[in-house]
Amino acid sequence: MVGPLEQAILALMIFVIMLGMGASLTPRDFYLALRRPYGLMIGVVSQYGFMPFIGFLLATLLTVPETIAIGILIMACMPGGTTSNIFTYFSKGNLALSVLMTVTSTVAGVVLIPIILVVYANALDLDIPRENIIVTLILLLVPVGIGMILRKFSANVGAVTEFMGSALALFFIVFLVISWIPRNWSFLLETTSATYFAAVGLGVFGISIGYAFARALKLHPRNARTVALETGIQNGPLAVAIIVFTFNGTEAQAVMAVPVLYSLFIVIVSTLVTLVFRRANTAAEQKLPDGLL
């Protein structure tokens, strides 16, 4: 597992990355996303409607032990995390909407997650660590706010911060994958294919269905990309924290399998999706003829 030092380094990295993301935003971006809350609503429905259902289907249809099934469900009920903001940024999505979706789903999760678990898991009693929720929100909102202030104060400081933040984000993505594999090598070998399928499928189906849903409701492709990533990318560390709080010993280890695997594969899946989204964005760009502009 991740030690306290690594956790601190990760938190610091996320802080700097979100500072950069914030520096790409203006208050007006948030105003626009809130003025038309349609996208935000679609996002929350997608997040807490589709994802738990996908998780439920995976947990029931796949032949997995009960502990794994619980892990799938917990993972599926999590709100979005900062990773979704980073991928939205690189996908040329609507970052302000992404941040708002993460905040909304995180706050709403306190109430919604237990209700959903009642529906799908016969009132599985989970401890949702409040401090974890608060840390998530602080790690998201404080740097984003500071980033926006930096940009307001000086467009150059903002642009440099954004550049540094996005460079660190690229490093962060590579770091997540590279540091994860050796740490969990034996675990990778022991895991059954059904568990793999659940861990990978959660992200893949979440992103696909989120995108299809948002497009079906006529969201602009930029916002649809945002909803897709926000739906499919869950707050992995929060799931891990919840499991640590709720379960003990070997049981905790088993329940944790899917969240841990998911955390690796979602980064890989999201990277591929981001490449596709970027290409789609470039293809949709207006072709300006050669000439005076």
Partner 1 sequence: MTISERPWAAYYGPDVRPEIETASCRTIGDLIRSVAETYGKAPAFTTCLYNGMNGTLSFSQVDEMSDAFAVYLREVAGLNRGDRVAVQMPNCLSYPIAAFGVLKAGCVLVNVNPLYTAEEMAKQFADAEPHALVIVDMFADKVPEATKGHPIPNVIVTRIAEFLPKMPRGIVGLVQKHWDRSVKPIEIAHIRLPEALDVGRARRNENKIEVDAYFQDVSPDDVACLQYTGGTTGVAKGAMLTHTNLIMNMQQTMEMISVFKKGEEVALTALPLYHIFAFTVNLLGFYWLGARNVLIPNPRPLSNVKRAFENYKITWMSGVNTLFNGLCNEVWFTDSPPKHLKFASAGGMALQTAVARRWQDITGKPVLQGYGLTETSPILTFNPLGKVREGTIGIPLPSTDVICVDEAGVPVAPGERGEIATKGPQIMAGYWNKPEETANVMRDGWFLTGDIGVMDPDGYISIVDRKKDMVVVSGFNVYPNEIEDCLATHPGILESAVIGVPDDVTGEAVKAFVVKRDQSLTEADIRAHCKAHLTGYKIPKRVAFRDDLPKSNVGKILRKDLRTSETTQDAAE
Report the residue number, 155 or 178, with the smaller CB distance to partner 1.
155
Task: Please report where in the chains the tokens 């969990």 appear, as a residue.
Answer: 184
CB of 171 to partner 1, least distance (A): 15
Report the residue number, 131 or 285, with the smaller CB distance to partner 1.
285
Phi-psi region of 26 (alpha: psi -120 to 50; beta: other; left: phi over 0): beta
Report the residue number, 134 or 152, with the smaller CB distance to partner 1.
152
C-alpha 78 chain-centroid distance: 9
Q: Compute and round to an integer the Cα radius of gyration of the chain.
A: 19
The token pair at 141 is 């909102």
The token pair at 18 is 């979100």
Residues within the interface to partner 1 (CB under 8 A): 26, 28, 32, 151, 155-156, 158-160, 162-163, 220, 222, 285-286, 288-293
CB of 288 to partner 1, least distance (A): 5
Report the residue number, 189 or 293, with the smaller CB distance to partner 1.
293
Task: Please report where in the chains the tokens 């909803």 appear, as a residue.
Answer: 227
CB of 13 to partner 1, least distance (A): 20
Report the residue number, 100 or 242, with the smaller CB distance to partner 1.
100
Element (H, E) at 41: helix 38-45
CB of 223 to partner 1, least distance (A): 9
Alpha helices in 50-192 (DSSP H): 51-61, 66-77, 82-90, 95-121, 130-153, 155-183, 185-190
CB of 96 to partner 1, least distance (A): 11
CB of 157 to partner 1, least distance (A): 9
Alpha carbons 155 and 58: distance in angstroms, whole number = 47
Report the residue number, 28 or 279, with the smaller CB distance to partner 1.
28
Task: Please report where in the chains the tokens 């939205």 appear, as a residue.
Answer: 88
273 and 207 in contact (C-beta within 8 Å)?
yes
